[in-house]
Amino acid sequence: MQDNGKILKRFGRQLRIFRKQKMLSKEELASKCMLSIKDIADMEAGEVEPGLCTIFHFAKILDINPEDLIPPPVGNDNEYYAYKFYILKLLNRLSGKDLKKSVNVLHSMFQEESWKTNTLTRSSLPSSL
């Protein structure tokens, strides 16, 4: 079984990442959840354990699934899931034509040798961007 402190830290990090993606301040999130700013800060720091209803309330406000706030214990880190979620939300907003363009850009990025070696730079992006 995992250490509760680690679970709370991971939850707090996810909460902070998704809050920032929605461009909400701690004050705004606290107001929407009817919590104090200190409650939000303590949860993001992994110092307070949120209740189940609070997790569902956060998910509703942040427009995510509750499980997105509770990342798996192994594998990719929390930021990976937050960015993946963010990219999927962006792609879902695109028209069919723009989605095809985006897929082509991503495909060409993956074919670049610089992508494989983690040395992707602005100059290695397709000129159509």
User: Residues 64-108: pLDDT tens digits?
Assistant: 999 989 876 666 666 777 777 788 888 888 888 888 888 888 778
The structural domains of the chain, ordered by start, are 4-73 (1.10.260.40)
**What mean pLDDT value characterizes the chain?**
81
Residue pointed to by tokens 């705004």: 28
Structure tokens at 89: 């939300």
Helices (H), 22-122: 26-33, 37-44, 52-62, 78-92, 96-111, 113-116
> Phi-psi region for residue 16, left (φ > 0), alpha (ψ -120 to 50) or beta?
alpha
> Phi-psi region for residue 21, left (φ > 0), alpha (ψ -120 to 50) or beta?
alpha
Identify the pLDDT of residue 106: 79
